[in-house]
Amino acid sequence: MNPTRSRTLRGALVALAAGSLVLTGCSGGSDSGSKSEESAKDKEAAKAQSAAVEYGDAAASKGPAKAVEGAKEGGTIRVYQEDDFSHLDPGQIYVSDAGQLAGLIHRGLTTYTQAEDGSLTVVGDLATDSGKQSDGGKTWTYTLKDGITDEEGDPITSKDVRHTIERLYAKHITDGPTYIQQWLSGGPGYREALPDGPYEGKHLPDSVLETPDEKTIVFHFETAQPDLPQALAMPGYSVVPEEDDTKAKYDQKPVALGPYKIAEFKPGKSMKLVKNTEWNAETDPARHQYVDGWNITFNHSRADQTERILADRGESANAVQLSGSVDSTKIKQVIEEADDRTIKGYQPYVWQLNMNMDRLKDKKVRDAITYALPNAQILRPDGGSYAGEPAGGLLAPTLPGYEEGYDPYGKLDKPNGDIEKAKQLLKEAGKEGMKLTYAYANVPHRQKQAVIIETALEKAGFDVQKKDIDQATWYEQVGKVKNGLDIYMTGWGQDWPSASTVIPPVYDGDQIADGASNYSHINDKHVNSEIDRISRIQDPEEATKEWVELHKYIVEKVNPAAPLYFTKQLQIYGSNVGGARYSTVKSYIDLTQLYLKK
């Protein structure tokens, strides 16, 4: 799920160019004791996020969800949101703002439940369990629970699930995840299998997707797909009832299966959710319906969100940030005055400076750029030590196989960069004075980062030509193969705890295309062949070991992108809000657990 375009782009969570979904905070500096304590807690939480996900049986998939201690019924939660939701149609949802909303209004075959330590179990949501596999993992069978209806009271059948999958092949679906479509229909060209979706009366053959009766759905894959239960838990695979599907118009008025439904929506201004009276708690193992509704208004900057909720007056006492973060200028104040009203945790994102390998072909030049960057300084405008930490590699602490201290370019030992090393490499390459076209998003913290990066690269001997790009079209611009740029930042995170949702979408040469997620245009034969080989390994532990080795090769032998920093999340909520916790699935506050104390 990507943070604001997230079309996380075709494979994993992409963090918004402006960083709206990534924590921002105060300037860095030496850690105090309390900071060190928080950092240790964060690392423990990250380990829980990186743990192997359990697959739940029928007993684990039954509702109702475990009660939240002290929870009360009633009231309306107030939400201050920066921008309107990127999408409402599940098939188009891949960014985190819409992903947060999806947890309230949409449901799919599977979902996650979260233990107190943050560890996760995939359970049946609309299905009776997380799935039954056969044929060595090539076939997965799901059975629908009894009593599942949409907001209009119409029962959900296997026909609706089939329709949900098949509509993702249609041309109007452009921004959602594509894992399952590619697994079913042979890779990136999957649309050819059903170019009009199901709208012209055609369907995928039963040998691919089968619905033998109203309750049963069977997926048939050419190769084993052990991660299917986790893929199905993504908001992008939530069910769209066939009778209610209005194609492209569904993005403005979806039908709810979750505990809440949309009562009023004024695009760009506001949205009101009320209880979905057709939702049956007995079928839902993960969600609650404690409050009567949600009042969401847009156009609240992070600073405005923070100030309102920190003040804790009137309706702000009932308020939460949905996908916003504490403003960088307010973090210290929030920690000092309202630490007990915050949720914190590692996000899955790694921010990196992509080096366009179509233009920067000399590895010594790419290495010089990497050594020159002062990671700790670059982090400061995005929140400093409260907001994240300098990264030595391209895998986040939330991923299985993450190696703490991995630092081939000395970004941890020398967080302010190594200018002399950069100068030496640039001289060896014969590129002193080389021009670099550097693009950045035209929002305040990216502008500040641009000055820091420009200064460091100029000291190393580069001639930096800066180019600002509107944040709203950031990924559209840098996502073009012929983008005319040399270096530019992006953020990426896992869709679930596996490097298979990071390395293939971002570093596979087959993913070089306009709108795809290989932003550095790396096309290395060894990397490509290893991705193909490791993707076929069925043992998760063995696959993790191989992904880690490939990650090291990418970072050390190719260096397509300079690692900058890992991000942490910090959100604030009102004093009358109960049940607040950090969601290790969403990397934001867990909306499904909230209630109002009075």
pLDDT in tens, 541-576: 899 999 999 999 999 999 999 999 998 899 999 999
Residue 17: per-residue pLDDT: 32
Residue 45: per-residue pLDDT: 62
Residue 71 DSSP one-character state: -
Q: What tens digit of pLDDT does each residue of 431-454 get?
A: 999 999 999 999 888 999 999 999
Q: 168 with 240: CB under 8 angstroms?
A: no
Residue 429 DSSP one-character state: T
Q: CB 336: neighbour CB atoms within 10 A? A: 8
The arithmetic mean of pLDDT across residues 166-182, rounded, is 94
Structure tokens at 228: 């299917």
560: left (phi over 0), alpha (psi -120 to 50) or beta: alpha
Q: Is the pLDDT of residue 423 over 70?
A: yes
Q: What tens digit of pLDDT does each residue of 208-225 get?
A: 999 999 999 999 999 999
Nearest-Å Rg of the Cα atoms of the chain is 23
Residue 573: per-residue pLDDT: 98
Structure tokens at 298: 């847009």
CA distances from 405 to 13, 389, 391, 393, 563 (A): 24, 12, 9, 9, 13
CA distances from 383 to 29, 375, 388, 583 (A): 11, 13, 7, 21
Q: Is the pLDDT of residue 13 over 90?
A: no
pTM: 0.85
Q: Is the pLDDT of residue 3 over 50?
A: no
Residue 353: per-residue pLDDT: 98
The span from the CA of 328 to the CA of 119, in Å, is 29
Q: For 104-118, b where at least 16 C-beta lie within 10 A, e where not — what string?
A: bbbbbbbbbbbeeeb
Amino acid at 372: A
- 389 SS3 class: strand
The arithmetic mean of pLDDT across residues 161-168, rounded, is 98
Give 52 or 329, the one with higher predicted confidence: 329
Residue 598: per-residue pLDDT: 93
What percent of the chain clears pLDDT 90, i.e. is strictly above it?
Answer: 78
Q: 161 with 124: CB under 8 angstroms?
A: no
What percent of the chain clears pLDDT 70, i.e. is strictly above it?
Answer: 91
Q: 560 with 503: CB under 8 angstroms?
A: no
Residue 312: per-residue pLDDT: 98
Residue 126: per-residue pLDDT: 98
Tell me the CB-side half-sphere exposure of residue 470, using CA atoms within 13 A: 3
> Residue 18: which pLDDT band, with cuts at 50, 70 and 90?
very low
Average pLDDT score over the chain: 90
Q: What tens digit of pLDDT does each residue of 27-50 get?
A: 222 233 345 555 556 666 666 666
Tell me the CB-side half-sphere exposure of residue 327, using CA atoms within 13 A: 17
